[in-house]
Amino acid sequence: MNIIDLSYLDTIAAETSLFGGASLAITAEALASGSNSLTLTDTNTLVRTVPSGKVTIGKGKGSAIATGDDPYANVSYWAAGFDKIIVKEGAKQGKSYASDALRIIALDLPNH
């Protein structure tokens, strides 16, 4: 196949951002065994771009609690497209309980 007339195409002389974005996810796991076991997990995330359209902010929190035999609790996060990420996490474990909690704030700043 021969294409003869390409005059209708434009030349792009500089790099241009065509698509951008940021993603944030939080997962929580809680496991325990035994007849008196109890598990609870909760996650919440929000990603929004401020009205000026220049900064994207991601916020999230997660918690996991397990009581019983062989308790296990874990909270983890995944983030992509952010320039700055601040994470605070605290975990505790005892013979019959385990807990984990996480808070995250992420910023996607404008590129100049």
| 9 secondary structure, DSSP code | P
Q: Where are the domains of the chain?
A: 23-108
- Residue 26, classed as helix, strand or coil, is strand
Q: Which pair of structure tokens corresponds to residue 27?
A: 């997962």
pTM for this model (two decimals): 0.76
Positive or negative, the CA dihedral 35, 61, 80, 90 is negative
pLDDT tens for each residue of the chain, 112 residues long: 555 665 655 555 555 444 557 899 999 999 999 999 999 999 999 999 888 778 899 999 999 999 999 999 999 999 998 999 999 999 999 999 999 999 999 999 877 5
Geometric angle at alpha carbon 105, from 110 and 46, rounded to 5°: 90
